[in-house]
Chain A
Amino acid sequence: MADEDDDIILSELSDEELVEQMMDDLYDGLKDEILEGVNILLERGWTPYRVLTESLVAGMTIVGRDFRDGILFVPEVLLAANAMKGGMGVLRPLLVETDAPRMGKMVIGTVKGDIHDIGKNLVGMMMEGAGFEVVDLGINNPVEKYLDALVAEKADILGMSALLTTTMPYMKTVIDTMKAQGIRDDYIVLVGGAPLNEEFGRSIGADAYCRDAAVAVETAKEFIQRRHNQVNA
């Protein structure tokens, strides 16, 4: 299979074949090939947004689905994400210059006491791929940092992540502080992380628990749409 792939000259493929091949390459975590494919499509006149959605996001969606189904594991997902990150590096500045759709703005970070960021980074990347502006606060965030960023960035969505059962209760601290300050309903609050579940999300007062990056994107889109409908009603 590898030998066969070695013979493929990306620039000689049709657009359709190239996108197909890029999705395979993303699945296999081949960053250099993804970079090459992105540049070829741009040279052929594709808009950055089209390259992003039809090759990278579409490819990463397959990766996410196979991870959920137990076909792929964390190392393979990380390699694929790294390849997508390479492509995003080329596309990001171009997306800013062009009229790619703007879905909304998300402030995202791992909660205080927790330094795990693999899931959070995947969510951030997929949200960006879906047209959201993402402000990543990194790891180990106290409540003040979340709240300051929400205000300063005029964000629509707060995303909080935790990997540890000892740190996930901190999400409630953040939400309770938002309630106390009377700003809870100004934001969509999404939470995620391996030890969480829907019941936990509900119990702490989040709008939704998102089990993976793809669900986070769909949930965010849905809530943003609802907001627009409310404003326009």
Chain B
Amino acid sequence: MTFADDTTLTRAGLPPQGRGRVLVLACGALAREIKALTRLNGWDHIDLACLPAILHNRPERIAPALRKAILRHRPNYDTILIGYGDCGTGGAIDALCAEFGIERLPGPHCYAFFSGTAAFEADGEVTSFFLTDFLARQFDAFVTEPLGLDRHPELRDAYFGNYETLVYLAQTDDDALTARAEAAARSLGLAFERRFTGYGDLADALASA
């Protein structure tokens, strides 16, 4: 079975697939990683559904979209795990989890739980701009186009002038993807650093689902 492509995961999301009793309702940006982990570990009890990853750029829309999805899918599952961190929602996802009695992934965002939440918080890298595998692949859809840098490259420093380094948190070893992330760093005028994180805390969170 072919898996949804990145553009679909960015713009449309993914309906539930499988016949598990646990639904992971996640950001489209995590779809491949969650799928890889469930396949690798034989977690057949876990189904995956994704909201469009581009909601990342409009965090105020995430919790309302999750609410709709929870209400739609809840009758079909024993439990739901929210595959988001706080993701810039200012506690709105936590409030939703409390309301429905469900859990979400640990930490403020995917950069943190890929890095290991504790390690990420300790680092406190305020001048680093992060990419994951998904964001490296979808850099134009998430950064270049919405910020208008394709049409107005002169705006680059208004957005990124205070950043120093683009840190690529790599979930996989992929030379082509590393090259894309490095090109992204160059296009933003930032130093480049690659850190292999694997799936970080994501595996533990799914294992306990």
By a beta-carbon cutoff of 8 Å, the part of chain A in contact with chain B is 73-76, 78-79, 82, 113-118, 139-140, 164-166, 168, 195, 200
Say whether chain A's binding surface is mostly helix, strand, loop, or mixed.
loop
Q: Is the CB of B162 within 8 A of A79?
A: no
Q: Is the CB of B124 within 8 A of A113?
A: yes
A195, B63: Cα distance in complex, Å: 13
CB distance from A2 to the nearest CB of B (A): 14
Q: A78-B148, A200-B90 are in contact. List 19 more A-B contacts (CB 8 A).
A: A73-B146, A75-B152, A78-B152, A78-B155, A79-B152, A113-B124, A113-B126, A115-B126, A115-B163, A118-B158, A139-B162, A165-B86, A165-B88, A165-B89, A165-B91, A165-B108, A168-B90, A195-B89, A195-B90
Q: Is the CB of B158 within 8 A of A78?
A: yes
Q: Is the CB of B148 within 8 A of A74?
A: yes
Give chain B interface residues in 147-171, CB to chain A under 8 Å: 147-149, 151-152, 155, 158-159, 162-163
Say whether chain B's binding surface is mostly helix, strand, loop, or mixed.
loop
A74, B158: Cα distance in complex, Å: 11
| Across-interface contacts of A166 in B (CB, < 8 A) | 108
CB distance from B145 to the nearest CB of A (A): 10
Can you spell out 13 A-B residue pairs with CB atoms less than 8 angstroms apart? A73-B148, A75-B148, A78-B148, A78-B158, A79-B155, A113-B126, A115-B126, A115-B162, A164-B88, A165-B86, A165-B90, A165-B108, A200-B90
Q: Is the CB of A114 within 8 A of B148?
A: no
Question: Contacts A73-B148, A74-B148, A78-B158 given: A115-B59 contact, CB under 8 Å?
Answer: no
**A-B interface pairs (CB < 8 A), number:** 45
CB distance from A25 to the nearest CB of B (A): 16
* Residue B127 lies at the interface, judged by CB distance under 8 Å to chain A: yes
CB distance from A100 to the nearest CB of B (A): 27
Q: Is the CB of B90 within 8 A of A74?
A: no
Number of interface residues, chain B, beta carbon within 8 A? 21
Q: A139's closest neighbor in chain B, by CB? A: B162
A140, B151: Cα distance in complex, Å: 30
Give chain B interface residues in 109-166, CB to chain A under 8 Å: 124, 126-127, 146-149, 151-152, 155, 158-159, 162-163
Q: Is the CB of A195 within 8 A of B59?
A: yes
| Across-interface contacts of A114 in B (CB, < 8 A) | 126
Q: Is the CB of A118 within 8 A of B59?
A: no
A4, B127: Cα distance in complex, Å: 44
A142, B117: Cα distance in complex, Å: 24
| Across-interface contacts of A117 in B (CB, < 8 A) | 162
A140, B146: Cα distance in complex, Å: 25
